[in-house]
Structure formats: structure tokens, C-alpha cells
Chain A
Amino acid sequence: MSGKPKLYYFDGRGKMESIRWLLAAAGVEFEEEFLETREQYEKLLQGGSLLFQQVPMVEIDGMRMVQTRAILSYLAAKYNLYGKDLKERALIDMYVGGTDDLMGFILMFPFLSAEDKEKQCAFIVQKATSRYFPVYEKVLKDHGQDFLVGNNFSWADVHLLEAILMVEEKKSDVLSGFPQLQAFKARISSIPTIKKFLEPGSQRKPVPDDKYVETVRRVLRMYYDLKAN
């Protein structure tokens, strides 16, 4: 074992992307094994590596961790990105819950029918600008600090930047009513570990395309369309 965390997932964003972001933000090198065939997935299943038969799965510190939130919480705590006490952790958990819900709407997007995609896009932008972005804009405005929680870089900041960039891919001027978030985006993007992750050639994955959707459907035998919100 190399000692580096090893990620098992498709060669694409999906539920693993937030984990890649957090590892990258913490400056932790990681390896990846990409699921391309049904056989690979069945091999993992038969080997007992997937506790609930699902990916993401991350091999780290002698564990085979599954469940995205469990993995993210572990990484955040291990790499000191989870606040300094219980109250800061509560704030981080709340903020991450919001960005998780928002990114959840985008996560299903590639698997929608063409007709539902248009509806969902509008839904995503509407929720981002009326429910989620105003919250983080206000948090930053009210305390006037560089980071969302406790004047220190945390998981909440990484997750929010990820969410902002994903929504901007749907509507490039979506931050136009949110000056605090614009400054936040610029500021967090220039943190060296994050800047590196945002450069071409990093392990950050691109916007999901048809090939990604085909691979997921094939490996998971998921041949139905998801429903829009």
C-alpha cells in the first residue's frame, strides 16, 4: 500500500468530486482507480470492499470507507478543516448541508431526459439565487471575514467554492447579485492548493459528458432516467 488514499469511482465527478476537492484543498496526494466495466464493479462487490455495495469508496488509513458524508467528515477532521470546537462544527455541518443539497440538484442532471434538463437547469439557478447563495452572502457580509466559519479555512469554504463553480457552469453570470461571493470565489481560488487543483492536468474532473453517463449506466446497470425536481 502506497500510503496515499485511493479513490474507487467512475472517471467523472458524481459523488466523488467533493472528496477530490477536499483532499486537494488539504494538499493530500491521492490515487484513483476508475470503474469502466461491470466486471470491475462485480469484482469489488465479490471482494467485500463495498459495505453497502456502492461507490464512492476510499481506501484510507487501513479502512475501506464508503458513504460520501462519512468520508468527507473523516477527511475534514483529519486535516483540520472542521472548525475548532463543537459550535463551529455545527455551523460547518449546516453550511455544507446546504451546498450538498444544491449540488445534489446538479448531480442528477446528466441522467435526466433532454426535456427535463431544461427544467432542471432553471430550477438549479432559481434555488441557487433565491435559497442558497443569499445565505452565504449574508454570512460573509455579517462577519466580514475571509472564511465562512471561525476566521479559518474549513471544509465549508471548499464545498461552497465547488458549488459556485458548478452553478456558474449552468449560468455564467449567476453571481452577479452577490458581491461577497464574487470576492470569496477569487480569494479561495487563489489558495495555493486550490489554485493547483483548478489548473489543467489536476485530478479535478470535467463537466459530465455522454461517455460518463454511458459508463455509469453500464457499470451500475442503471438504465432508467432520473426524474427532475
Chain B
Amino acid sequence: MSGKPKLHYFNGRGRMEPIRWLLAAAGVEFEESYLEKKEDLTKLQKDGSLLFQQVPMVEIDGMKLVQTRAIANYIATKYNLYGKDLKERALIDMYVEGMFDLNELLMSYGFQPADKKEQHFANMVDKATNRYFPVFEKVLKEHGKDFLVGNQLSRADVQLLEIILMAEECKPDILAKFPLLQSFKARISNIPTIKKFLQPGSQRKPPIREEDVPKVMKIFY
């Protein structure tokens, strides 16, 4: 075992992407093992590596962690991205859970059938601009600091940058009404570990292409 965390997933964003972001932000090198066909998933299921027969799965510190939140919570705590006390953690959790909900919408867009895409897109943009972004714009305004919670980088900041960038891929001017989110985006993108992750050649994954969807579906269904 190399000592580095090892991620098991398909070669794409899905539910593993927030984990990649967290590890990258923390400056932690990690390896990846990609599921390419159904047999790859079946093998992992058969050898007892997947507690609930599902990925994401991350091998870390002698454990085979599953469940996206469990993995993210562990990494955030271990690398000091979870606030300084219970109250900061509560705020971080509230913000991150909201982002999770928006991420589900953004992440599943590529997998929608053709006749549902337009409605899904409209719903995504509506939720981003009317439900989620206004909240974080307001938090930044009232908190008046560089970060969403307390006075240091946390998983909330990392996750917010991630969804901002994903939302912009769908609608490039989506931050038009949110000046503080725009400066937040610039600021957090400049953090050295994150800047590195945003460069070509990093382990950041691109959005799923329409032609790759059937292949991914075959792995899981």
C-alpha cells in the first residue's frame, strides 16, 4: 500500500468529484482506480470492498470508506477543513448540505434523457440563482471575511467554488448578480493547492460528455 488514499469510481465527476476537490485543497496526493465496465464493479462487490455494494469508495488509513458524506467528513476533519468547534461545524454542515443538493442537480444534468434536459436545466439555473447563491452571497456579506465560516479555509469554501464553476459551465454569466461570489471565486481559486488543481493535467475531471453516458450507465445498471 502506497500510503496515499485510493479512490474507486468511474473516470468522471459524479459523486466522487467533491472528494477529489477536498483532497486536492488539502494538498493530499491520491491515486485512482477507474471502473470501466460492469465487471470492474462486480469484482469490487464480490471481494467485499463495498459495504453497501456501491461506489464511491476510498481506501484511506486502513479503511475502505463508502458513503460520500462519511468520506468527505473524514477527510475534512483529518485535514482541518471542518472549522474549529461544534458551532462552526454546524454552519459548515448546513452550507455544505445545501451545496450537496445543488450538486445533485448539476451532476445529474448530463444523465437526463433528451426530452427532460430543458426542464432540468431551467430548474438547475432557477435553484442556483434563487435559492443557493443568494444565501452564500449574503453569508459573505454579513460575515465580512475571506471565508464562509470562521477565519480559515474550510470544506464549505472548497465545495462552494466547485459548484460555482460547475454552474458556470452550464451558464457562464450565472454569477452576474453576485459580486461577492465573483470575488470569492477569484480569491479561493488563487489558493496554491486549488490553483494547482484547476490547471490542466490535474486529477480534476471534466463534465461528462453525452457520448460517454451509455458507457457509464452500463457499469451501474
Contacts and interface: CB of A to CB of B under 8 A. Distances in A.
Interface in B62-105: 63, 65-70, 73-74, 77-78, 86-87, 89-90, 93-94, 96-98, 101
20 contacts: A52-B101, A65-B90, A67-B93, A69-B93, A70-B90, A70-B97, A73-B90, A74-B89, A77-B86, A86-B77, A87-B63, A90-B74, A93-B74, A94-B65, A97-B52, A97-B70, A98-B52, A98-B67, A101-B52, A135-B51
Contacts, number: 77
A207 interface: no
Contact of B70 (A52, A53, A61, A94): A94
Interface string B12-49: 00000000000000000000000000000000000000
Contacts of A51: 94, 98, 135
A97 B89 contact: no
B131 interface: yes
A90 B52 contact: no
Given A52-B131, A67-B98, A90 B73 contact: yes
Nearest to B92: A70
A93 B69 contact: yes
A131 interface: yes
Contact of B90 (A63, A90, A135): A63
A66 interface: yes
B178 interface: no
Contact of A90 (B65, B89, B94): B65
A61 B89 CA distance: 14
A132 B68 CA distance: 17
A78 interface: yes
A182 to B, nearest CB: 21
Contacts of A65: 90, 94
B53 interface: yes
A159 interface: no
Contacts of B70: 90, 93-94, 97
Interface residues of A, number: 27
Interface residues of B, number: 28
B interface: dominant SS = helix
A20 interface: no
Contacts of A94: 51, 65-67, 70
A73 B93 contact: yes
B74 A89 contact: yes
B147 interface: no
Interface of A: 51-53, 61, 63, 65-70, 73-74, 77-78, 86-87, 89-90, 93-94, 97-98, 101, 131-132, 135
B51 A63 contact: no
A152 to B, nearest CB: 18
A87 B65 CA distance: 10
Contacts of A86: 74, 77-78
B97 A67 contact: yes
Nearest to B62: A87
A67 B98 CA distance: 7
Contacts of B78: 86
B52 A93 contact: no
Nearest to A53: B131
A77 B87 contact: no
Contacts of A101: 52
Nearest to A139: B51
A154 B181 CA distance: 39
Nearest to A93: B70
B132 interface: yes
Contacts of B52: 97-98, 101, 131-132, 135
Contacts of B63: 87, 90
